[in-house]
Amino acid sequence: MKALVYLGPGKRVLAERPKPVVELPTDAVVKIGKTTICGTDLHILKGDVPTVATGRILGHEGVGIVDQVGSAVSHFKPGDRVLISCITSCGKCESCRKGLYSHCVQGGWILGNTIDGTQAEFVRTPWADTSLYRLPETADDEPFVMLSDIFPTGYECGVLNGKVSPGDTVAIVGAGPIGLATLLTAQFYAPAEIIMVDMDDHRLETARRLGATQSVNSRDGRVAERILELSGGRGVDTAIEAVGVPQTFELCQSIVAPGGVIANIGVHGKSVELHLEKLWSQNVTLTTRLVDTVTTPLLLKTVLSGRLQPLSLVTHHFSLGELMKAYDTFAQAAENRALKVVISNGRG
């Protein structure tokens, strides 16, 4: 089968690889219908993720059709249409029983990381009963590709951890796909104001179209000041960091109101300065989280009922044979005005 293979820092190839098979009784093999590329895949390609070995098939997002199941899989059978979660959960360990699937002792983020991933014609999914989600027969499968990772990530790490509530003022720093998924799911809770921050005017325009009430381009150097103005001098109830660099985390610290929350989503490569000399008395909460995907069933319901429209984040389409080109497009997101790219298997 065709698969996108990591060959070490800076190197990827669309190669022919053997079709995976069921290895353990709890495995399934899924024929990929659609997959996508994540910012994390670009990090891997930069060599920033040491757990990814050379030769690994990338990708941790996708929808498809169950092709084979192991003998212990009881909830799925070949032919079932499924969503593949980016987080593998055994459902049995102490972490899983507490809803902390991201820290499953045998799972967590392993697809496209420590085992082969979804940017291929087929993928082996361990612990299938608790890591796949059934899709309705009638639904178009494309919106659900967005539910493998970015929507649960924005919702769990940003919106839920950030305790976004009706009437609140929320700032989301970073208007990439994750920031925009956060923006869309933040609206589940009717905040009064959502202020979007980015350096790319096109993305801010998209954010306003998708429900941001205010947007601030951070290039002007007065972003903290402007957000304080927009929040009546008080600061924001929730500041969501969706970039992953020290400057944006610094910004969050300077705009959060007493009693507020800083919810970190960004993948940080280095430590940051925490201003406890100021914040110790500000009654703030700061959260970090690798997505658990515990809200996938809930998000499925919001998509099926029309409350959530994930396709608003899809900008480009490719066939599986065009995966290299899809990467090129996604890697130059600004020039290409790319958010999420969808890669289809067998219909290109």
Restricting to residues 174-233, which ones interact with its own copies according to CB under 8 A? 185, 187-190, 192-193, 213
Residues 303-332 that bind its own copies (CB under 8 A): 304-305, 307-308
Rule CB under 8 A: say whether 43 interacts with its own copies. Answer: no
Pick from 163, 208, 226, 289 the residue near its own copies by CB under 8 A. 289
Rule CB under 8 A: say whether 258 interacts with its own copies. Answer: yes
CB 321, min distance to its own copies, A: 34
Measured CA angle at 312 (ends 310, 315), to 5 deg: 115
**Residues 342, 136: Cα–Cα separation, whole Å:** 20
Rule CB under 8 A: say whether 283 interacts with its own copies. Answer: yes
Q: Which amino acid type is present at position 128?
A: A
Pick from 68, 95, 113, 344 the residue near its own copies by CB under 8 A. 95
Decide whether 54 or 288 has the Cβ nearer to its own copies. Answer: 288
CA dihedral of 158, 162, 163, 169, whole degrees rounded to 10: -100
CA distance to 48, 168, 327, per residue, from 249 (Å): 20, 20, 28
Decide whether 128 or 313 has the Cβ nearer to its own copies. Answer: 128
Pick from 1, 15, 42, 100 the residue near its own copies by CB under 8 A. 100
Q: Is 291 helix (H, G, I), strand (E, B) or coil?
A: coil
Rule CB under 8 A: say whether 286 interacts with its own copies. Answer: yes
Question: Roughly how many angstroms between the first and final C-alpha of the chain, as a whole number?
Answer: 15
Which residue from 182, 194, 78 is spatially nearest to 128, judged by alpha carbons? 78
**Residues 47, 50: Cα–Cα separation, whole Å:** 7
CB 153, min distance to its own copies, A: 11
- x/- mask, its own copies, residues 143-172, rule CB under 8 A, reads ----------------------xxxx----
CA dihedral of 152, 46, 125, 307, whole degrees rounded to 10: 20
Rule CB under 8 A: say whether 92 interacts with its own copies. Answer: yes
Rule CB under 8 A: say whether 74 interacts with its own copies. Answer: yes
Pick from 302, 329, 344, 345 the residue near its own copies by CB under 8 A. 302
Rule CB under 8 A: say whether 244 interacts with its own copies. Answer: yes
Measured CA angle at 49 (ends 275, 126), to 5 deg: 115
**Residues 251, 237: Cα–Cα separation, whole Å:** 14
At 246, list the tokens.
């020290």
Stretch that binds its own copies, among 12-20, 36-44, 89-97, 332-340 (CB under 8 A): 89-97
CB 304, min distance to its own copies, A: 7
Decide whether 263 or 314 has the Cβ nearer to its own copies. Answer: 263
Pick from 276, 328, 332, 348 the residue near its own copies by CB under 8 A. 276
CB 257, min distance to its own copies, A: 9
Please, are residues 120 and 3 in contact by the beta-carbon 8 Å criterion? Answer: yes
CB 74, min distance to its own copies, A: 7
With CB under 8 A as the rule, give the number of residues binding its own copies: 72
Question: Rounded to an integer, what is the distance from CA 100 to the centroid of its chain?
Answer: 16
Pick from 19, 43, 103, 163 the residue near its own copies by CB under 8 A. 103
List, as one string, the DSSP characters of 172-238.
EE--SHHHHHHHHHHGGG--SEEEEEES-HHHHHHHHHTT-SEEEEGGGS-HHHHHHHHTTTS-EEE
Rule CB under 8 A: say whether 136 interacts with its own copies. Answer: no
